[in-house]
Amino acid sequence: MDSTKQNVGKIVITALFAALACVATMIIKVPTVGTNGYVNIGDTIVLLSAWMIGGVYGALAAGIGSALSDFISGYGSYVPGTFVIKFLMALVAYLVFVAIKKANTKDSKGMNVVAYIVSGVVAEVIMVLGYFLYESTLLGYGLGAVPSIGSNSIQGVTCLVLGFIAIFALEEAKVIKLVKKFV
């Protein structure tokens, strides 16, 4: 594939995943007690963006889609924080995933599982800590941001499980190979 088609493919896949992240964040919202937020399944797409697209493009898809959801939903004060947090989640998950894969001398399915688990857990820890720091400092909630740790942890675990189910199903269906042709 020539470089122009490759670049267009990257942009299209990035936009598609950004739209998926936005919709996944908005489609199921469970308001959380004691916080201004809600639990959602958007991090599932954030993880898939990291694992399937990777690098800056995957991080942009995660950040843009998630921030757009906050903007549309009326959480304007969260837009910058969400963009940065989701961008970092996807970028770090990708880098951890690649590092584990490179450190492995065998290309085994078991090592893929380890890479998905470790990179996903690291990403969700970034999310929990990122929102706590954003809310406690930049939004000025101070210790009032503590309840978000619990609700964000629930969201993180839920999205990890959904992300694992989705990535293995997409691997079985050969969808990842199709996406990789464009990125």
CA nearest neighbour of 77 among 167, 130, 138? 138
List, in sequence order, every beta strand (DSSP E) within the chain: 30-31, 38-39
Q: How confident is the model at residue 1 (pLDDT cuts 50, 70, 90)?
A: low
- The CA–CA distances, whole Å, from 151 to 40, 69, 93, 103, 130 equal 10, 18, 21, 34, 13
Residues 89-103: what's their mean pLDDT?
96
- pLDDT > 70 in the chain, percent: 98
101 pLDDT above the threshold of 80:
yes
pLDDT in tens, 118-148: 999 999 999 999 999 999 999 999 999 999 9
pLDDT confidence bin for 91, thresholds 50/70/90: very high
CATH of 3-180, one of 1.10.10.10, 1.10.1760.20, 1.25.40.420, 2.30.110.10: 1.10.1760.20
pLDDT of residue 89: 99
User: Which is it for the CA torsion 45, 50, 51, 53, positive or negative?
Assistant: positive
**CA 43/CA 48 separation, integer angstroms:** 8
- Helices assigned H by DSSP within 28-108: 42-48, 55-72, 79-103
Q: Encode pLDDT of 20-70 as tens digits.
A: 999 999 998 888 877 777 889 999 999 999 999 999 999 999 999 999 999
Residue with more model confidence, 175 or 46 = 46
pTM, two decimals, is 0.93
